[in-house]
Amino acid sequence: MSDRVIRSVCVFCGSRPGLDPAFVAAGVAMGRAIAARGLTLVYGGARVGIMGAVADAALGAGGRVIGVIPKALVSKEVAHDGLSELFLSESMHERKERMISLSDAFIALPGGFGTYDELFETITLAQIGLHDKPSALLNTNGFFQPLLALVRHTIDLGFAAPEHASLCVVDEDADRLLDAISAWTPPPFGSRALDRREVA
């Protein structure tokens, strides 16, 4: 068991709801679960799509919610005006830096290219030893199975070490995933990889 303390969780997810209602429902469950544990939710600052569902659920459960959104996306992604705090960034890069610095752990829910970008940034930073924070996938209705297959393919062809799989925790249940990231221990630097058990 890890003795790490998780106080804030960053959620990466879509500014669209997706075609399966289970995706928004998963966002609601995650927002409520984060708030129920007294954790701060950090996310992309929008009030639409799964992003809005996560934030509204956490706020509705009495949680603290911090949003970070680029100035250029305030109107496009419809910035949430009911958050505990909202930071405006000059760029997507600055947005990710702020979200990473504010968070003790990262969870990706179903989303688009931006979600993948944010997730892989946190995994890569851990892989090269620039932080020791856990990353995780809420694998709702198998949404991330193709991504996990790509990770396995990458490892099998020698572009990542087998042990780097342990940098990313996977579960389909919000509470179990939060338990897993609280118990997570980073692999020793120099032997970091996505463990085959996590990507199977």
* pLDDT class of 196 with cuts at 50, 70, 90: very low
User: Closest Cα partner for 134 from 1, 31, 9, 3?
Assistant: 9
Name the average pLDDT for the chain: 90
CATH class as words, domain 13-103: alpha beta
> Does 57 score more than 50 pLDDT?
yes
Same fold, 13-103 and 105-200: yes
Domain coordinates of the chain in residue numbers? Answer: 13-103, 105-200
104-121: pLDDT as tens digits: 999 999 999 999 999 999
Q: According to CATH, what is the number of the domain 105-200?
A: 3.40.50.450
Over residues 156-172, mean pLDDT: 90
From CA 176, how far away is CA 182, in angstroms rounded? 10
